[in-house]
């Protein structure tokens, strides 16, 4: 009898140990490298999704982003909270992702052209097992802004509050207003026109 109970206890411990990793993997593979996704973030929301696949939130209904901080691909510390006062564009990407490669030149161009308007771009690099391919990606596409290194997706899972516009695919783009609150999201690869459509209204906000 006793020998029959012990394996079950060990199995339970193994299940509890791997559960957090399973949750992260599930979140990252939900619609990885897809061309689109559902607009909602869960919960009671006030999202509006237009025909271009961009979800937005009225200023009064926006939620502050959680902690999005860590080490960049270049080994420097970065905390998105320090960028409050700027419009912040957060782009979830991976070097292995074809749609990410398609949108990268557009992001590099718009980041350079909007810097003087108070816009800061920050990438969140995920599912790259080591930094080498991601750094090569940045060099190939002229990406000059920093990217947080998030290989297991912890920032993606925990960085955005429940019921908010959170990233649900790779690539995803989240735009924060000057108060650090989530104002817009896209779950598809963006060209320059669509990217500016997300950013420009927030630049103009008083």
The pLDDT tens digits of the residues spanning 17-33 come to: 333 444 444 445 445 57
* 53 — pLDDT class (breaks 50, 70, 90): confident
Mean pLDDT score, 86-95: 98
* DSSP 8-class letter at 82: G
The whole-chain average pLDDT of the chain stands at 84
**Nearest-angstrom CA–CA distance, 71 and 90:** 15
Evaluate if residue 59 carries a pLDDT over 80: yes
Reported confidence tier of residue 206, pLDDT bands at 50, 70, 90:
confident
Contact of 114 with 175, CB cutoff 8 Å: no
Residue 49 has pLDDT above 70, yes or no: no
Mean pLDDT throughout 32-49? 47
Please give the pLDDT value at position 10.
Answer: 45
Task: Quick: pLDDT tens for 132-184.
Answer: 999 999 999 999 999 999 999 999 999 999 889 999 999 999 999 999 999 99
Higher pLDDT, 14 or 108: 108
E strands, the chain, in order: 47-49, 54-57, 69-71, 77-79, 87-93, 119-126, 147-150, 172-176, 182-186
Q: What is the pTM of this model?
A: 0.80
User: With the C-alpha atoms ordered 86, 91, 95, 99, is the resulting torsion angle positive or negative?
Assistant: negative
pLDDT above 90 coverage of the chain, percent: 72
Q: 102-133 pLDDT, tens per residue?
A: 999 999 999 999 999 999 999 999 999 999 99
Phi-psi category of residue 127: left, alpha or beta, with phi > 0 → left and psi -120 to 50 → alpha: left
Q: Does residue 206 contact residue 87 with C-beta atoms inside 8 Å?
A: no
Return the sign of the alpha-carbon dihedral for residues 142, 78, 178, 92. positive
């Amino acid at each position: 009898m006793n020998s029959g109970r012990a394996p079950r206890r060990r199995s339970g411990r193994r299940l509890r140990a791997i559960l957090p990793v399973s949750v992260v993997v599930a979140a990252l593979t939900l619609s990885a490298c897809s061309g689109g996704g559902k607009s909602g973030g869960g919960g009671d929301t006030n999202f509006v999704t237009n025909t271009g696949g961009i979800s937005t939130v009225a200023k009064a209904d926006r939620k502050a982003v959680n902690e999005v901080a860590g080490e960049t691909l270049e080994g420097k510390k970065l905390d998105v909270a320090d960028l409050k006062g700027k419009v912040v564009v957060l782009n979830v990407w991976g070097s292995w992702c074809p749609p990410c490669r398609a949108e990268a030149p557009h992001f590099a161009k718009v980041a350079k052209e909007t810097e003087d308007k108070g816009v800061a771009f920050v990438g969140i690099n995920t599912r790259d097992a080591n930094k080498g391919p991601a750094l090569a990606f940045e060099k190939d596409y002229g990406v000059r802004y920093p990217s947080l290194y998030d290989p297991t997706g912890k920032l993606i899972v925990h960085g955005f509050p429940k019921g908010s516009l959170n990233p649900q695919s790779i690539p995803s783009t989240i735009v924060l207003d000057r108060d650090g609150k989530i104002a817009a999201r896209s779950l598809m690869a963006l060209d320059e026109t669509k990217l500016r459509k997300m950013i420009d209204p927030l630049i103009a906000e008083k």
